[in-house]
Structure 1
Amino acid sequence: MQKILVTGAKGQLGSELQTISKHYNQYEFIFVDREELPLDELDKIKAGLNEIKPDIIVSAGAYTAVDQAESEKELVDCVNHLAVAEIAKWAANNHSKLIHISTDYVFDGTSKTALHENEKTSPINWYGETKLRGEQAILSYLPEGIIIRTSWVYSEYGNNFVKTMLRLMNERDSISVVKDQIGAPTYALDLAHVIMKIIGSEKWVPGIFHYSNNGETSWYDFAKAIHEISGLVCEVNGVTSDQFPTRAKRPKYSLLDTTKIQKTYDVVIPNWRDSLEKVLRHRLLNKN
């Protein structure tokens, strides 16, 4: 029985993978978070991997607090870059497969069309820079690895835009949301299913892939959709990035072209609004 190790077990993607793992009895799953495999303590990573001896590693653990990353640069680089390098080296030396999760924030946001996997990278914040360094480490140490860049991830788990919007819409009469940043949301459960499809596929195609839900939107229109589906009484106003400054810059346009993963692994990607309705109606709203 093949052993699958998932890092970032308590994160959004890790939690969704745990949810669906019961449907994949042909694998042994080991889910670890910072307590079991601290990505900020490099000396413990190799020892931990030697103990677990996974056949497949899903590298979903990361430092994702984009604004806070600007003031914790050494820690962020350790988790998003140096730890990933250690995992890639171990996988290469032990003939293990690796699927690593990266981000649309490796791009600068100046594109006007959906971004292909081979587009020039140029991060504009430290989080994006460290995630790019992690990608480069995998390409260097483990060319057979798979990197999946995704964007605007949300689920019923952890902290994310959807849950923040629901909370604010419950607490306030009106909110303001940036309208000039364009991309596509990703429901973590959809991504989890794709990862398991790749693992179960008869072919292993190394390299970089892009995955997000289909369609494109702005954060403002994303918030409007949350507002409409939830039925909460709150005014949602659109503002520009200049009106809503953040410590870390965000790319203005980071829509990912997902053609490659669709064709390579025969993936059918749901529209972002359909997935949003699914998670709101069936999961999140039932909790409120």
Structure 2
Amino acid sequence: MKVLIIGRRGQVSRELQHRLGNLGELIVLGRDQLDMAHSDQIRRKVQIIQPDLIINAAAYTAVDMAESEPQIAFAINAVAPGILAEEARALDIPLIHYSTDYVFDGIKVGPYNENDTPNPLGVYGKSKLAGERAINAVQGKHLILRTSWVYSTEGRNFLLTMQRLLQEKTELRVVADQIGAPTWAGTLANSTLALIERWQLSDTVSWGTYHLTAQGATSWFGFAQAICEALRQQGKPCATLLPVSSNDYPLPAARPLNSCLDCSRLQREWGVSQPDWKSALRECLAQQA
């Protein structure tokens, strides 16, 4: 099988590259080979490569910067996925696309399921929702996988930032009123592989939108506490953590206070489940050691 992965250096793409090699030929296109802001480039690349599966692991993820760069955010997060969906449908192949908890406003009590009405708070979430809708409008074979709080041992993410700051500072303030599921990029890649293998084994699968995060929930403060505990177990210094509210840490883009996603539909319809966020963090840190 020929698998086209869009995005080369992102957290999810790197984990996919580690895990999908046995499927066949992996063709991975980075920004220098494919500018997702240019529709003609997307069409031309897909038509030349003629893949059997497209995985879109590329996105504009600068949440705060998106507030001042809506045009580029929508080009990459909204227009490009729709074009990929059109090209995938023309080839009669599936498209796997990653979306976000930021499509919701975070005011619901309890986890969001796939039937809940999206209401994004900022440009990033609005652009990602527009991308979902563009894919759905094509009505081809697709999986839209909404996830949250992605981290890994590479790139720029909360885990690596906290590991650095916790060792540099004596005191660190972390937001404690935003709740979600920290999700290791390796978990996303493992689940993506499982979904691909189930598609290969079945003539009838349920395409559509699914939630895919680690199990359980915590706050950013709780996530930082777990990172701090791991540092101390390694004999490394760790700052004192102080919980603060979102209002104490203002940013250009508003964040949903509740980012918890109900992933039971993915388990029910595809038989794919995810580990608890704490066990996934331990596995991630073991690879970092």
Same fold (TM over 0.5): yes
1:195-206 equivalent positions in 2, closer than 5 A: 195-201=192-198, 202-203=201-202, 204-206=205-207
Q: CA deviation at 1:122?
A: 0.3
Task: Give the corresponding residue for 1:229.
Answer: 230
Displacement of 1:143 after TM fit?
Answer: 4.0
- What letter corresponds to residue 242 of structure 1 in structure 2? N
2:3 corresponds in structure 1 to 4
Name the residue aligned to 2:255. Answer: 250
Give, in whole Å, the separation in 2 of the partners of 1:27 and 1:72. Answer: 38
Structure 1 position 189 matched with structure 2 position 186? yes
Q: Select which of 66, 71, 75 maps to 2:72.
A: 75
Distance 2:282 2:110 in 1: 26
- Take 1:18 and 1:146, find their aligned partners in 2: how far apart are those partners? 19
1:158 is aligned to: 155
Distance (whole Å) between structure 1 residues aligned to residue 145 and residue 241 of structure 2: 32
Bigger drift between 76-85 and 195-204 goes to 195-204
Q: Which residue of 2 aligns with 1:283?
A: 287
Per-residue CA distance 1:77-102 (angstroms, 9 max, x = gap): 00001111111111111111111100
The amino acid of 1:174's aligned partner reads: E
SS in 2 for 1:50: helix
| 1:126 and 2:123 correspond | yes
**TM-score normalised to structure 2 length:** 0.95
Do the aligned residues in 1 keep the contact of 2:266 with 2:273 (CA within 8 Å)? Answer: no
How big is each residue's C-alpha offset from its partner over 1:156-199, in whole Å with a ceiling of 9 and x where there is no partner? Answer: 12111000100111211111110000110111111101111111
2-side partners of 1:104 and 1:53: how far apart?
A: 31
Amino acid paired to 2:249: F
Unaligned runs of 5+ in 1: none
One-letter amino acid of the structure 2 residue matched with residue 221 of structure 1:
G
- Rounded Cα–Cα distance in structure 2 between residues aligned with 1:92 and 1:171: 50
Q: Which amino acid aligns with 2:220?
A: W
Identity between Structure 1 and Structure 2 (%): 39
Among residues 40, 45, 49, which one is paired with 1:43 in the alignment? Answer: 40
The answer to whether the 8 Å contact 2:92/2:141 transfers is no
Deviates more, 1:87-96 or 1:103-112: 87-96
Is the 2:60–2:76 Cα contact (8 Å) retained in structure 1? yes
1:16 aligns with 2:20: no
TM-superposed deviation, 1:230: 1.5
Pick the aligned partner of 2:86 from 86, 89, 112. 89
The structural deviation recorded for 1:283 is 2.6
Instruction: Provide the C-alpha distance between the structure 2 equivalents of 1:27 and 1:197, rounded to a whole number of angstroms.
Output: 15
Number of positions where the alignment pairs a residue of Structure 1 with one of Structure 2: 281
SS in 1 for 2:210: strand
The one-letter amino acid paired with 2:5 is: V
Letter of the structure 1 residue corresponding to residue 264 of structure 2: T
Q: Aligned Cα RMSD in Å?
A: 1.1
Most deviating of 120-129 and 169-178: 169-178
Offset of 1:129 from its aligned partner?
0.2
Whichever residue aligns with residue 98 of structure 1, its letter is: L
Match for 1:110 among 102, 107, 111? 107
Distance (whole Å) between structure 1 residues aligned to residue 160 and residue 8 of structure 2:
19
- Equivalent residues in 2 for 1:259-278, closer than 5 Å: 259-278=264-283
The amino acid across from 2:16 in the alignment is L
Secondary structure of the residue that 1:58 maps to in structure 2? strand
Using the size of structure 1 for normalisation, the TM-score is: 0.95
CA contact (8 A) 2:178 2:257 kept: yes
Amino acid at match of 2:260: L
**Separation of aligned partners in 2, 1:182 and 1:143:** 34
Runs of 4+ in structure 1 off by over 3 angstroms are none
Structure 2 Cα separation of the partners of residues 183 and 127 of structure 1: 17
Residue-by-residue CA offset, 1:11-40 (whole Å, 9 max, x unaligned): 000000111133x1x421111111111101
